[in-house]
A and B are shown apart, each in its own frame.
Chain A
Amino acid sequence: MTYLIAMNDGQTRLTIILIYLGLLLFLGFFASRLFRGTRDDYLLASHSIGPFLLLMSMFGTTMTAFALVGSSGEAYKKGIGVYGMLASSSGIIHSLCFFVIGVKIYRIGRKHGYSTQIQFFRDRLDSSFIGLVLFPILVGLIIPYLLIGVMAGGGVIAVMTAGAFPEWATSGNGGIPAQYGSLLICLVVLIYVFFGGMRGTAWANAFQTTVFMVLGVVAFVMLANRLGDGDSFVDSLSRITQQVEYSKLTRANMSQTLFFTYMFIPLSVAMFPHLFQHWLTAKSANSFKVPVILHPIFIMIVWVPCVLIGVWASSLDLTNVKPNDVLAFLVNDKIGPVMGGLLSAGILAAIMSSLDSQFLCIGSIFTNDIVTHYLGKDRFSDRGQVWIARSFVIVIVAVTYVLSLQGYRSVFTMAVWCFSGFAALFPLVFAALYWRGLTVYGAFSGILAMVGSWGYLFWKSDFGANTEFALHPFGKSLPIMPVVAIFLCSLLAMVITSLITKRPSDETLAKFFKT
């Protein structure tokens, strides 16, 4: 503690961040001590995850930089409507996906021994080629999602360590430059995923979810007291709220049709490959009940404080602060360095609890769906397959890091485009589970329609640079989210093509449907 006092504020926060990252590494190493050496254990924790860990790991995985950094940044710009637009809608739709898709995937996945989505679709549609079509699409959509985390992590470290090294101030803010912060985050996640596999990831997620939920609430209380400076906590809340302009406390600046069509975005969780893998780690189907029920409440606990902090920030003079950095800036500026360091650890926890699952899932997809599928499962021992997965995790971390150096994009906008692509694949997974009539050509058509319409609209939005991009099929006053058009293109192409092409064999259908 004496040593902490001797340091400047930036160095104190940096020390706390490093201690936190060290704890994560320790957790990863500890999980690796329980590693049984098998592929099933590395990728799926030997289906040993009970209700609590499943809740924490699924929640931690779905809450990203988007939830903390993006929500506060977006609320700073648009006001309280951000909560209804994405958080409460996610509470309804995510749990719906866990209940309708997740539980059924768990049953089928356990019965047939799947580890990845592609294995399921190959068997269900009786087509090896569908895997080759899905592989680049799933990886291509996951990479922007990974970039969101890596870039936001670097940004948070840069802001939170400002002034740690005054001699660097000529080239920046005297803190760890964002690119080095991103590198640090990548290395820590890589190490605990590499050694701990899915078990390490689930434990780290549970730990990190607890950290960011607790510290998020603590940040909320401390910031309210500092910003409001009232006689009591409620008085402080009231004072700071009085300073916020009217439009930020209502949805006056928000379109009702955009608000409604945002409801399509959370459907993306049904097709997240990393979530698919988490579903298969469950010890039993009953393990799903707790996550299904508590997910909306957990979302509320995380999002309400972040949205309110973002709204309060809109009443302050933060001209030179990017919206993504609002939360980190306020914590840095208004709260003492020790608490600031702990809160930065909380923000990083939310970011890393998604990155780990995504890195691991890409390693799993490559190992299962490319290497062992085409070269033969019997050519590799269990340990060999674990090493292939680990090697691909290293490659994908390196690729993601290099891509993250290419420049700044709004966390919120990037996430929305990425989620739109996954959401438009919802009809495919739903039909695969509930509609015997889905054919392989129907699936191809749906996927290609998604890629074509997504690519066209992404191009029209200047590759995400136009953050207000929307469609206007019902006139200028009724904009809708691009995801609606992409979703409908995918759905119609899939259904129409399936109706005119040949179904999979009865033998194949019998594996997935009751006769």
Chain B
Amino acid sequence: MKLLIWLLVAALIIFHQDFWNWNSQTLYFGFLPIGLLYQMGVSIAAALVWWFACTFAWPAEIEDFEQEPAEKGGKA
């Protein structure tokens, strides 16, 4: 599952580059440039990937830790 999450993050980074819309003048709804609309899609996709990561790849060691007693104070 961790590998899948890393692959999804890598995909987000690749899709984020968006070289294919670099000079496109297309406007959606008459005001939203494709370059901006696409990047808004990247933001939404990022939220979905992180939801997936938190749901299916939440670190098991964290769950274990919640049961452990805490030590008091570091070296300061």
Contacts and interface: CB of A to CB of B under 8 A. Distances in A.
A260 to B, nearest CB: 6
A84 B31 contact: no
Given A112-B71, A113-B70, A297-B47, A84 B54 contact: no
Nearest to B53: A99
A284 B68 CA distance: 12
A296 B48 CA distance: 10
A89 B17 CA distance: 9
Interface in A67-110: 80-81, 83-84, 87-89, 91-92, 95-96, 99, 103-104, 107, 110
A285 B39 contact: no
A238 B65 contact: no
Contact of B43 (A107, A246, A296, A377): A296
Interface in A291-310: 292-297, 299-300, 304, 307-308
A250 B59 contact: no
Nearest to A107: B65
A234 B40 CA distance: 18
B27 interface: yes
Given A237-B30, A238-B30, A251 B23 contact: yes
Given A111-B65, A252-B23, A292-B53, A123 B39 contact: no
Contact of B62 (A81, A103, A120): A103
Contacts of A113: 70-74
A307 B59 CA distance: 36
B53 A296 contact: no
A134 interface: no
Contacts of A256: 17, 19, 22
Interface in B9-50: 9, 12-13, 16-19, 22-25, 27, 29-31, 33, 35-36, 38-40, 42-44, 46-47, 49-50
A250 B22 CA distance: 6
B12 A377 contact: no
B10 to A, nearest CB: 10
A297 B24 contact: no
A122 interface: yes
Interface string A60-72: 0000000000000
A114 interface: yes
A373 interface: yes
A15 interface: no
A205 interface: no
A119 B61 CA distance: 22
Contacts of B33: 80, 241, 249-250
Contacts of A372: 76
A250 B24 contact: yes
A229 to B, nearest CB: 14
B61 A83 contact: no
B35 A249 contact: yes
A81 B63 CA distance: 41
Given A81-B35, A300-B40, A114 B46 contact: no
B2 to A, nearest CB: 11
A259 interface: yes
A112 B53 contact: no
B23 A119 contact: no
B72 to A, nearest CB: 5
Contacts of A114: 74
Nearest to B35: A80
Q: Which of B12, B19, B25, B47 has the most A CB atoms < 10 Å from its CB?
A: B47
Contacts of B12: 92
A250 B16 contact: no
A497 to B, nearest CB: 23
A393 B17 CA distance: 41
Contact of B76 (A84, A251, A377): A377
B68 to A, nearest CB: 7
B74 A300 contact: no
A275 interface: no
B76 A119 contact: yes
Contact of B16 (A88, A95, A284): A88
Q: Which of B31, B38, B63 has the most A CB atoms < 10 Å from its CB?
A: B31
A91 B73 contact: no
Given A250-B24, A296-B47, A103 B31 contact: no
Contacts of B70: 110-111, 113
A63 B10 CA distance: 25
A289 B51 CA distance: 8
A263 interface: yes
B63 to A, nearest CB: 8
Interface of A: 80-81, 83-84, 87-89, 91-92, 95-96, 99, 103-104, 107, 110-115, 119-120, 122-123, 128, 234, 237-238, 240-241, 246, 249-252, 256, 259-260, 263, 284-285, 289, 292-297, 299-300, 304, 307-308, 368-369, 372-373, 377, 514
Interface of B: 9, 12-13, 16-19, 22-25, 27, 29-31, 33, 35-36, 38-40, 42-44, 46-47, 49-51, 53-54, 58-59, 61-63, 65-66, 68, 70-76
6 contacts: A111-B71, A113-B70, A119-B74, A241-B30, A249-B25, A377-B76
Given A99-B50, A107-B65, A250-B23, 9 more contacts: A80-B36, A81-B35, A88-B43, A92-B16, A95-B46, A107-B62, A238-B31, A293-B51, A297-B44
